[in-house]
Chain A
Amino acid sequence: MLSIEVEKRLPAFTVTMRFDAAEGIVGVFGPSGAGKSTLVNMIAGLLRPDRGRIAIGETVLFDSERRIDIATHRRRVGYVFQEGRLFPHLSVKQNLDYGRRMNGLPDNPAHLEAVLALLDIGRLIDRRPGRLSGGERQRVAIGRALLMQPRLLLLDEPLAALDAGRKREILPYLERLRDEAGIPMVYVSHHAGELRRVATSIVRLEAGRVTETGGLDILDRIKADDLA
């Protein structure tokens, strides 16, 4: 359903990527500097490829030949950033409502309740982001992206800023998200163990290129020291 064919010249290296991903959670794996964030930023529309095509199913987000380049705010691609990026001046509730309001979606209390329960963030709703722990912040960021009802959810190293304990706290929520939300996702990580738990297929990147695509068995062939 996700179809990528992009080329982008960057100061450090040139990104040339081509792959088609199945339903489920695509785990994008690679060391830092492999072009993982470049890839998700191009899918989100925050970075413009020099050439190529990006499509989610029948929806074309970018096509240089046909001069299609849908603006970021019209892509309906949810993005969970490494550092959460919650709006500090808004309450948790207002953060969660932001995407729904900006997309002109009707108020949907049932959906909100379901997301609050899924991520176990119901009791945080009146707080400001400044008073949340790192793990809580990340869960709210995931909820905020889910509530805009995205076509695709991008998660860029969502656990990288957390310590081991917090990672263990969030991983079960990510597994539930995969099993219950029914939204296709791209999950970026340099951590094979994390991907083994949440991903359903793997795209392996190195130095701006796709080196392998396929099932989780790709992770088994990676050197033990990468598994950390």
Chain B
Amino acid sequence: MFDLTPEEWTAILLSLRIALVATAAALPFGIAVAWLLARKQFWGKSLLDGLVHLPLVLPPVVTGYLLLISFGRRGPAGSFLYETFGIVLSFRWTGAALACAVMGFPLLVRPVRLAIEAIDQRLEQAAATLGANRWRIFLTVTLPLALPGVIAGAVLCFAKALGEFGATITFVSNIPGETQTISAAIYSLTQIPAGDAAAGRLVIVAIVLALAALIASEWLARRANIRFHGE
């Protein structure tokens, strides 16, 4: 019963690719925003904080629709990207990655922020007295010490991206081979009379992938802890 059809494989591989690209793209921005929120006082900080968390509380359809009107071919950001770089996001897998990155962003930022807040800033002072400028302090002290949080955030973002449905389907639709992820494929299969077996297989795949991501994150966080505390 567990022979996956080529169409199902396509959906699985596409989901993995979208989730990986979304996480990789969100990571540098997520770390930067987390650092700003953890360390800096500035005008509009609560606004930024709210904006980051918005995708968590908005209906995903609303986020998808907002992406569609701003990143669609005629939207302000979409037409800019098309005219300057020739990049099209709407109805492409890259657009699905953008939607997933936006939806996963709050889940990424939170653990990274908490990890940075937990770092003893006196270690950063020590690094400065030893000759490290701000950027090198960040790279050699802050980031390595925040690594367990970065791993946790990246895994949460990846898992969210893997299962994202509402914003993705609104922004880039449900095109097999281009934007049809596991979730979208399951949704399609539940709409046809003979789809139960295929939907069931994909459901099992989704559960396995989510569990694997969680186990991987536990393992990575434990290794990071061993490195830091020698225990």
Residues of A within 8 A of B (CB): 44-46, 71-79, 81, 83, 85, 87-89, 98-99, 102-103, 127-128, 130-131, 144-145, 148
Contacts and interface: CB of A to CB of B under 8 A. Distances in A.
A85 B126 contact: yes
Interface residues of B, number: 23
Nearest to B125: A46
Nearest to B143: A89
B57 interface: no
Given A73-B131, A87-B123, A148-B130, A127 B230 contact: yes
B128 A46 contact: yes
Given A99-B131, A102-B132, A148-B131, A88 B229 contact: yes
Given A73-B131, A128-B230, 20 more contacts: A46-B128, A75-B129, A76-B131, A79-B129, A83-B122, A85-B125, A87-B126, A87-B140, A87-B141, A88-B123, A88-B228, A89-B145, A89-B147, A89-B227, A98-B127, A98-B132, A102-B130, A102-B131, A102-B132, A128-B229
B151 to A, nearest CB: 14
A79 B126 contact: yes
A199 B141 CA distance: 33
Contacts of A89: 144-145, 147, 227-228
B131 A81 contact: no
B129 A130 contact: no
B133 A73 contact: yes
Interface in B196-216: none
Contacts of A78: 129-130
B231 interface: yes
Contacts of B228: 88-89, 128, 130
Given A81-B122, A88-B145, A102 B136 contact: yes
Contacts of B229: 88, 128, 130
A131 B126 contact: no
A71 B133 CA distance: 9
Contacts, number: 76
Contacts of B147: 89
Contacts of A75: 129
Contacts of A144: 130
Contact of A77 (B129, B145, B231): B129
Interface of B: 120, 122-123, 125-133, 136, 140-141, 144-145, 147, 227-231
B228 to A, nearest CB: 5
Contacts of A76: 131
A72 B144 contact: no
B130 to A, nearest CB: 4
B34 to A, nearest CB: 18
Contacts of A74: 131
A79 B129 CA distance: 7
A145 to B, nearest CB: 8
Nearest to A72: B128
4 closest A-B pairs by beta carbon, nearest first, are: A102-B131, A128-B230, A99-B130, A85-B126
16 contacts: A45-B128, A46-B125, A72-B128, A73-B128, A73-B133, A81-B126, A83-B122, A87-B126, A88-B228, A88-B229, A89-B227, A102-B131, A103-B131, A128-B228, A128-B229, A144-B130
Contacts of A45: 128-129
A80 B93 CA distance: 54
Select the residue from B127, B145, B147 with max chain A CB neighbours within 10 A: B127
Select the residue from A45, A99, A145 with max chain B CB neighbours within 10 A: A99
B131 A85 contact: no
Contacts of A77: 129
Contacts of B126: 79, 81, 85, 87
A76 B128 CA distance: 10
A62 to B, nearest CB: 15
A127 B230 CA distance: 8
